[in-house]
Structure 1
Amino acid sequence: MGGEIVRKDDISPKSKYLIKKEFELKNGKYGYQKYLIEDIKLQNILATDTQLVFMGGWAEQFLAKFTGAGGGNVAWCESSPDVLVRIENLISKTLLP
């Protein structure tokens, strides 16, 4: 269109499902990261995968100020820290027959 940016509203997505990510940190010490699979048309949550994290005590948080490291994979309270594997498992176990 001649190099113009055109905005169109009210366009229905072609995908049937939506994957969303939520992250929340509570009290600066505990948090979670959650992936959700939602049916767009029905607006139902079909599955979730939640990872809990402990950001460390006072010593870890003090040292992290100097290194910028933070909790890392050690802090995640689950067995498979690779988030791509977790998302792949969530999708395949939820959506594939």
Structure 2
Amino acid sequence: MAREWLVALVVVVALLLITAMARRRRPPVGDELAAIFGEAPAPDPGPRARRWALGALYRAGVDAEADPVYAMRVLRQAEPRLSLAGARSLVAAVS
């Protein structure tokens, strides 16, 4: 009985490790925004990215401070290459 539990535990741990290793790796947010907006990589969004985000939100009539989740959605719809982390960073930078 104990041997079956040990085998089951090893199988579960192995599956968890395989799942964790197979997860998609994303570049850092600064690198992503730099590639999209043609800026030097930095931890915070650069001026071009912030200007674009403000324009996209203005055109959509969205207040990033009032509804940050909807603002992230609007930014991701306007720029499909933008990840959720990138959109979150932009909303934080403009609000």
Structure 2 length-normalised TM: 0.27
Q: Name whichever structure is richer in helix by fraction.
A: 2
Structure 1 length-normalised TM: 0.27
